[in-house]
Amino acid sequence: MQKINEHLKKIEQIINDPQPRRIDGSWQVGIDLGTADIVLMVVDEQGEPLAAFMEWAEVVRDGVVVDYIGAVDIVKRLVQQAEAKLNIEIKEAVTSFPPGTEPRISQNVVENAGLKVKTMIDEPSSVVHLLNIDHGAVVDIGGGTTGLSLAENGKIIYTADEPTGGRHVTLTIAGNQRISFEEAEKMKRAAQTNGLMAVVEPVFQKMAEIIKNHLEKFSVKDVYLSGGTFCFPGIVDVFKQELPHLNWILPAQPLFLTPLAIASYQKKRA
């Protein structure tokens, strides 16, 4: 986890930084087509991040691409930015899909942006692989969806996808404060200081309950967290309060863990 946290902090520094960088050796590209953000990341053989570009993309809703052309355009732009920064030509990428949804949707977006899909993996399971989790779960709460993947004895035995995420947190703030979605989104991201927890705590409690319903069938203890919703200060304390028997593990920058995992994913030989 320590190495991964270093990578995540590095991504925070280089995100959307166009400054050219010389690279040698091989690299791989991952594209995370999220409901809130589309992120393209390039990593080297050691999984070290070389470039990361991200666009806010209200194009995928609850796991389904609603503005298909918009998503394709964003991917094309992100590809161009990474190519220019690293002086490379990107021909293929790893991409992902929410568990239980049709992988073809993401595949079409990436292909229509002019790339070959190298391999695909569902989002939370990519994190299981990145963190080498033998026994434990990944919970990825992004903008529109909550993804779950559970490993026992080094094998993924269960995945799930729920239509809840940061969007619902923002909508709750917008309703409570009588402001627009955009204003509420800004306010949420500045939550360090504005005492919003009382407003959004019931949403987090509901999320914890959803997770509990999935996990209680298994003897899981360690739960690794991913997704931008975990950037909200204090959210993990709410989860701990609701489900104290679980060991909640928050990475240094949860917003970038899933995109890093997708970019680092190597399909194992059968």
Ligand X SMILES: Nc1ncnc2c1ncn2[C@@H]1O[C@H](COP(=O)(O)OP(=O)(O)OP(=O)(O)O)[C@@H](O)[C@H]1O
Interface contacts to ligand X, rule CB under 6 A: 32, 34-37, 60, 140, 142-145, 165-167, 170, 185, 188-189, 191, 227-229, 231-232, 255
Mark out the alpha helices in 131-255 (DSSP H runs): 166-177, 181-189, 197-215, 235-242
Interaction pattern, residues 159-188, with Mg ion; x per rule: CB under 5 A: ------------------------------
Q: Which does 229 bind (CB under 5 to 8 A by kind): ligand X, Mg ion, none?
A: ligand X
Q: Minimum distance from CB of 123 to ligand X (Å)?
A: 6
Q: Which of 4, 15, 28, 34: binder of Mg ion (CB under 5 A)?
A: 34
d(CA 174, CA 41): 32
Q: Which does 164 bind (CB under 5 to 8 A by kind): ligand X, Mg ion, none?
A: none
Q: Count CA within 13 A, CB hemisphere, residue 67.
A: 12
**Tokens representing 17?**
């930084």
Task: Check binding of 49 to Mg ion (CB under 5 A).
Answer: no
Q: Minimum distance from CB of 143 to ligand X (Å)?
A: 4
Give the pairing of strands 146-152 and 49-56. unpaired
Site residues for Mg ion, 140-159, by CB under 5 A, read 142
d(CA 146, CA 156): 17
Q: Count CA within 13 A, CB hemisphere, residue 255.
A: 20
198: phi then psi, degrees, rounded to nearest 5: -60, -30
Instruction: Pick the stretch among 2-10, 17-25, 33-41, 83-91 that binds Mg ion (CB under 5 A).
Output: 33-41
Q: Minimum distance from CB of 163 to Mg ion (Å)?
A: 13
Q: Which residue is nearest to Mg ion (CB)?
A: 142
Cβ contacts of residue 81 below 8 Å, gap of 6+?
A: 16, 18, 40, 51, 53
Q: Which does 37 bind (CB under 5 to 8 A by kind): Mg ion, ligand X, none?
A: ligand X
Give the pairing of strands 155-162 and 146-152. antiparallel
Q: Which does 133 bind (CB under 5 to 8 A by kind): ligand X, Mg ion, none?
A: none
